[in-house]
C-alpha cells in the first residue's frame, strides 16, 4: 500500500530554513513517506536542495523587502496553485519546517483544505541583535493552526509551554533535536577530526550569523585572558556594524572574515578550525553545534538554553561552568595544555553525530504526529 503524501515547505531565501526543509523531506522519503517539497526558487542553493526531493511544488521568490513584497503580491495566485496541487495529492499532513512571513496564510489555507499541520519551531522570540521581530508574532498564528509543534530542544518545549496560549490547536508539543545537515547535494570533502599532533596555535573559530547574543565580546575577553598561550581566534560570518570590531582588529591573535558565508564557505571554515567556540549569552539551541560535531569538531560552549542539551561535556565537547569569559578561558586553557584534546573530542563528535542516523531518529519522532 502506498504511503500517504506529506507536504513540507519553507519559503525563505537564506539561512538554515530551506536546508532544513529539504533534508527533512529527504529523510521522510528514506523512511518510506512521499514528501512534496516546496521551496522558494530564490533560496540559496535552490537547485541542489530541490534535487534532494524530486516531487516538488516550488514558488517564485526574491531578495530582501522587495522580494517579500513581490511574494506577497503573488500570494493569491500562489495559494490557488498550491491548493490545486494539494487537493490532487491529498497529503495526510503538512509540515512547516521553519515559519516565515507568509506562512499564516498557508496555514489558514491548509486548515480550509482540512490538512493537519505540524510546525517545527526553532525559536520563540528574538534574541539580542536579531532584526526580524515580526516573524515571531506571525509564527504564533501558524502555531495556533497546528495539530502539533515540534521543538529542537527540551528547553524550547518548556519555554513554549510556559508562554501559554495561543499554543497548537491540538495541544501537542514534542521536543526533538536539531539533526546535523548532511549537505549531500554539495559534494563536500569527507569530515575528519583534527590531527592528534597540532602544528601551530590552537585554532578557535566563532562563526555563523554573528548577532549580539552570540557573545563575541565574551570570546574576546576569554582570548585576552590567555595572552601568551598558543591560541588564535578566527571570527567568520556576517556581522552588522559590531561594537567589538575595533577591539578585535587591534588584537594580534584575532583574524576576521566579516561577510555572509554560503554553505561551502561555512563548512570550509569549520574544517579549518581545531574547535568551535559558542560564547552565547542565550540560546534555544543551535543548528551550528551539530554541524560542527558532524564535521569532527569539538564544541566549547556556554551552558545556556538548549545548547546544554547538545554537548556532552568531556565526551564530544566542553560546557563552561558559567556563561562568562573566565569559565571559557579555563576550558580553552585545557586545550592549549593538552594538544591531543581537540582531536580526541572531535573524533568522538564525528562518531556520535552522523547526519543520516540523526535524521532517521528525528523522523521516527515526527512520524506519529503525521498519521
Residue-wise DSSP of 178-215: -PPP--TTT-PPPP-PPPSS--SSEEEEEESS--GGG-
* Grid coordinates given for 278: 559558542
**Per-residue pLDDT at 159:** 87
C-beta atoms surrounding 3 within 10 Å:
13
The CATH code of the domain at 5-180+356-369 is: 3.40.50.2000
Is 36 in contact with 56 (CB distance < 8 Å)?
A: yes
**Residue 371 banded pLDDT, cuts 50, 70, 90:** confident
pLDDT tens profile 8-27 = 999 998 889 999 999 999 99
Rg of the chain (C-alpha set)? 21
Phi, psi of 10 (to 5 degrees): -160, 120
**Residue 1 banded pLDDT, cuts 50, 70, 90:** very low
pLDDT tens profile 310-348 = 999 999 999 999 999 999 999 999 999 999 999 999 999
Helix H segments across the chain?
A: 16-30, 46-51, 64-89, 103-112, 134-144, 154-163, 216-225, 245-250, 263-272, 288-294, 307-310, 325-337, 341-352, 355-366
pLDDT tens profile 72-111 = 788 889 999 999 999 999 999 999 999 988 999 999 999 9
Convert 313-343 to b/e letters by CB count within 10 Å (16 or more is b): eeebbbbbeebbbebbbbbbbebbeebebbb
Domain(s) labelled CATH 3.40.50.2000 in the chain stretch across 5-180+356-369, 202-353
pLDDT tens profile 338-370 = 999 999 999 999 999 999 999 999 999 999 999
As assigned by CATH, the class of the 202-353 domain is alpha beta
pLDDT tens profile 241-298 = 899 999 999 999 999 999 999 999 999 999 999 999 999 999 999 999 999 999 999 9
Percent of the chain with pLDDT over 90: 81
130 pLDDT more than 70: no
**Residue 129 banded pLDDT, cuts 50, 70, 90:** low
Answering whether pTM is above 0.85, one says yes
**Per-residue pLDDT at 19:** 97
Q: Dihedral, CA atoms, 235, 184, 130, 210, nearest 10 degrees? A: 0
Amino acid at each position: 500500500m502506498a504511503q500517504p503524501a506529506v507536504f513540507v515547505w519553507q519559503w525563505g531565501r537564506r539561512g538554515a530554513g530551506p536546508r532544513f526543509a529539504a533534508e527533512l523531506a529527504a529523510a521522510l522519503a528514506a523512511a518510506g513517506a512521499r514528501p512534496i517539497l516546496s521551496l522558494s526558487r530564490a533560496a540559496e542553493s535552490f537547485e541542489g536542495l530541490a534535487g534532494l526531493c524530486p516531487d516538488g511544488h516550488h514558488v517564485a521568490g526574491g531578495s530582501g523587502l522587495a522580494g517579500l513584497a513581490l511574494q506577497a503580491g503573488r500570494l493569491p495566485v500562489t495559494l490557488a496553485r498550491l491548493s490545486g496541487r494539494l487537493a490532487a495529492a491529498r497529503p495526510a499532513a503538512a509540515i512547516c519546517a521553519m515559519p516565515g512571513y507568509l506562512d499564516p496564510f498557508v496555514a489558514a489555507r491548509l486548515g480550509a483544505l482540512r490538512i493537519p499541520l505540524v510546525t517545527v519551531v526553532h525559536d520563540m522570540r528574538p534574541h539580542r541583535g536579531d532584526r526580524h521581530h515580526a516573524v515571531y508574532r506571525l509564527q504564533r498564528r501558524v502555531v495556533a493552526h497546528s495539530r502539533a509543534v515540534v521543538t529542537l530542544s527540551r528547553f524550547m518545549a518548556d519555554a513554549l509551554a510556559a508562554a501559554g496560549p495561543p499554543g497548537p490547536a491540538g495541544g501537542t508539543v514534542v521536543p526533538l533535536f536539531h539533526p546535523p545537515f548532511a549537505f549531500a547535494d554539495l559534494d563536500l570533502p569527507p569530515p575528519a577530526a583534527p590531527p592528534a599532533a597540532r602544528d601551530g596555535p590552537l585554532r578557535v573559530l566563532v562563526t555563523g550569523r554573528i548577532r549580539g547574543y552570540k557573545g563575541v565580546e565574551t570570546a574576546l575577553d576569554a582570548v585576552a585572558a590567555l595572552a601568551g598561550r598558543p591560541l588564535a581566534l578566527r571570527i567568520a560570518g556576517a556581522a552588522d556594524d559590531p561594537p567589538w570590531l575595533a577591539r578585535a582588529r587591534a588584537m594580534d591573535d584575532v583574524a576576521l572574515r566579516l561577510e555572509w558565508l554560503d554553505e561551502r564557505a561555512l563548512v570550509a571554515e569549520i574544517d579549518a578550525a581545531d574547535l568551535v567556540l559558542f560564547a552565547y549569552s542565550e540560546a534555544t539551541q543551535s543548528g551550528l553545534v551539530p554541524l560542527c560535531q558532524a564535521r569532527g569538531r569539538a564544541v566549547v560552549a556556554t551552558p545556556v538554553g538548549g545548547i546544554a542539551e547538545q554537548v556532552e561535556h568531556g565526551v564530544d565537547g566542553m560546557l563552561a561552568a558559567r556563561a562568562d569569559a573566565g569559565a571559557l578561558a579555563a576550558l580553552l586553557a585545557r586545550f592549549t595544555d593538552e594538544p591531543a584534546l581537540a582531536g580526541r573530542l572531535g573524533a568522538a563528535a564525528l562518531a556520535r553525530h552522523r547526519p543520516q542516523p540523526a535524521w532517521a531518529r528525528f523522523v521516527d519522532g515526527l512520524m506519529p504526529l503525521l498519521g
